[in-house]
Amino acid sequence: MRKLLLLSSIVLLTASTSIARQNAGVVLTREQVDAIVQPLVDDGNAQSIVVGIIDSSGTHVYGYGKIAKEIDRAPDGKTVFEIGGLTTPLTG
């Protein structure tokens, strides 16, 4: 099971970098990013998401959701996320 999860993670990582290369030069507007990400937060699939985009005009960081259920503040580029549960299958 652990090997399958590791293999799946490697395939997804490889595919995502390939897709990024194919879309190099495509610039998303804030409205396009909002349309993709905001429904994930609104539907409860994620409590908070931070999206960073680097293009020819600079760096853009967009935060969605709340940093904690009891704190009504959107995350930003300096928000630290706990991902320990996701890395356990990879690190043992």
For residue 18, being part of any structural domain is answered with: yes
Q: Which residue has the tokens 């409205």?
A: 31
For residue 60, being part of any structural domain is answered with: yes
- Give the per-residue pLDDT at 11: 56
For residue 54, being part of any structural domain is answered with: yes
- For the record, the structure tokens of 62 come out as 């967009």
Residues sharing a CB contact under 8 Å with residue 55, sequence separation 6 or more, in sequence order: 27
- Give the per-residue pLDDT at 77: 92
Dihedral of alpha carbons 38, 35, 85, 73, sign: negative
For residue 25, being part of any structural domain is answered with: yes
For residue 84, being part of any structural domain is answered with: no
Chain segment 23-69, per-residue pLDDT in tens: 666 778 899 999 999 999 999 988 999 999 888 888 999 999 999 88
For residue 86, being part of any structural domain is answered with: no
pTM: 0.63
For residue 53, being part of any structural domain is answered with: yes
For residue 37, being part of any structural domain is answered with: yes
Number of domains in the chain: 1
Residue 49: domain span: 2-77
